[in-house]
Amino acid sequence: MEVAGCSGAGQAGPASKQSIREKIWAHLEASGLAEFPRPVHHRIPNFKGASHAAARLPDLPEFKMARTVKINPDAPQKNARFLTLEARKTLLVPTPRLRTGLFNQIVPPLGATKEILRKCATSQGVKDYSVPVGLDAKVKVDLVVVGSVAVSEKGWRIGKGEGYADMEYAMMVSMGAVTEDTPVVTIVHDCQVVDIPEELLGDHDLTVDYILTPTRTIKTNCKRLKPKGIIWQKISYEILGKIPILKNLRYREKQAGKDVTLQDEHPDFPNASIPAVLKETAKTENTRPHTGTSPTHVGHCSAGNDSLSAKSDVPGAFTTVYVGNLPAGTRVSELKSTLRELHVTPLRLNWQGAQHRAFLDYKDKVAAESAVSSLKGLSLGGCTLRVELAKNQRSKGQVEINRNPAPQGK
């Protein structure tokens, strides 16, 4: 493998994605090019000259025309985020590991100085000056900036191996935020521009249209098609459990009639095996004291055996999620079916259909926040649900909530 601009970084022998990553990471460290955070192994590597490489971004015609730019949150793209804010463009940054959603929009304070904008572009600034962007926000992304471990002049890209950039792009396609014509840019050191055998690429791999390095701007003229959306057959239950927003997108696509069969699903043998993430959920729920016999424990509404007795629960042991704006005529069974579909079945459900609301009790705040992420932007009967942690639970422990049951739905 030949490595442009870095003599000694490439070695002969069969290439794999991981072998290319290892060579790039090792070379950056050994040559003194690596920058904080270190070591750069298993990361999108930061490098000396990253700011200079990013300074080429404003010169791209596509950047000049863009209104909304999505940039990854890694260190080598910090200056790209600053330059986007300085140009008064809308900056979207993916949430770390997609744990709490897809995007955050960085919103600097009014009259922000360059110093404040630089702070907004840091990882801490992303936390302090961001607001979440939901799936129903109708976002149109005009330019995508991603990090890479390695990239070829043909536009073929290798990430750090966890698939988040590919997943983010596929999710943006699914929600209509990008099209096949949306340009993709990566910012790397010259030594990260390498030969990548095409046979290493999969149909889920994201390609790039521009490569920015400290010394060059490379237009790849890449002809390889970008991902056309989420390839559900490559998604496992484990990944689905780690990325709550995926559950929401999967539910939407299933409602639209698309095939959303997962990698480890067995449609011909529905009872053949239970995914580990669901086994763990069932195990957790079954260890709680209860009088009901149903394994799903969606209760506190008149649903036969599908209930959990509140009498045996420790007061304040739950974290509660509020679901509002339920359309008139919605049955409790519809909500329960949706919760199961998204794998966010609560320990207890308090149905108040007459007030167009319900309360969902989860074992802890982590489970509750995961449910909120999965249900955000969800529609039932044409109404977008209002979903949030019940009052005072965002910063406090449990609180007493007045939830007198209304007449039950069926």
Class of domain 50-219: alpha beta
Please, where in the chain does CATH 3.30.70.330 lie? 319-389
Q: Give the model's pLDDT for residue 237.
A: 84
Q: Beta partners for 194? A: 3
**Residues 126-173 pLDDT 10s:** 889 988 887 777 899 999 999 999 999 999 999 998 878 888 898 899
Tell me: domain 319-389, CATH 3.30.530.20, correct? no
Q: Give the model's pLDDT for residue 306.
A: 33
Say how many C-beta atoms besides its own lie within 10 A of residue 113's C-beta.
10
For the chain, which residues score pLDDT lower than 70? Answer: 1-14, 97, 99-101, 266-316, 392-410
Comparing C-alpha atoms, which of 191, 154, 188 is closest to residue 24?
191
**Residues 297-328 pLDDT 10s:** 333 443 333 333 333 344 457 899 999 999 88
Q: Are 92 and 133 in contact (CB under 8 A)?
A: yes
Q: Give the model's pLDDT for residue 245.
A: 81
Q: Give the model's pLDDT for residue 26.
A: 97
Q: Give the model's pLDDT for residue 378.
A: 78
Comparing C-alpha atoms, which of 158, 163, 99, 155 is closest to residue 373?
99
Q: Are 348 and 318 in contact (CB under 8 A)?
A: yes
Pairwise CA distance, residues 196 & 149, whole Å? 12
Q: Give the model's pLDDT for residue 381.
A: 75
Please, where in the chain does CATH 3.40.50.10420 lie? 50-219
Pairwise CA distance, residues 189 & 149, whole Å? 9
Residue 165: what are its φ and ψ, rounded to 5°?
-65, -40
Strands 143-146 and 184-187 come out as parallel
Handedness of CA 351, 318, 280, 290 (dihedral sign): negative
Q: Are 85 and 120 in contact (CB under 8 A)?
A: yes
Q: Give the model's pLDDT for residue 14.
A: 66
Cβ partners under 8 Å of residue 163, min gap 6: 204
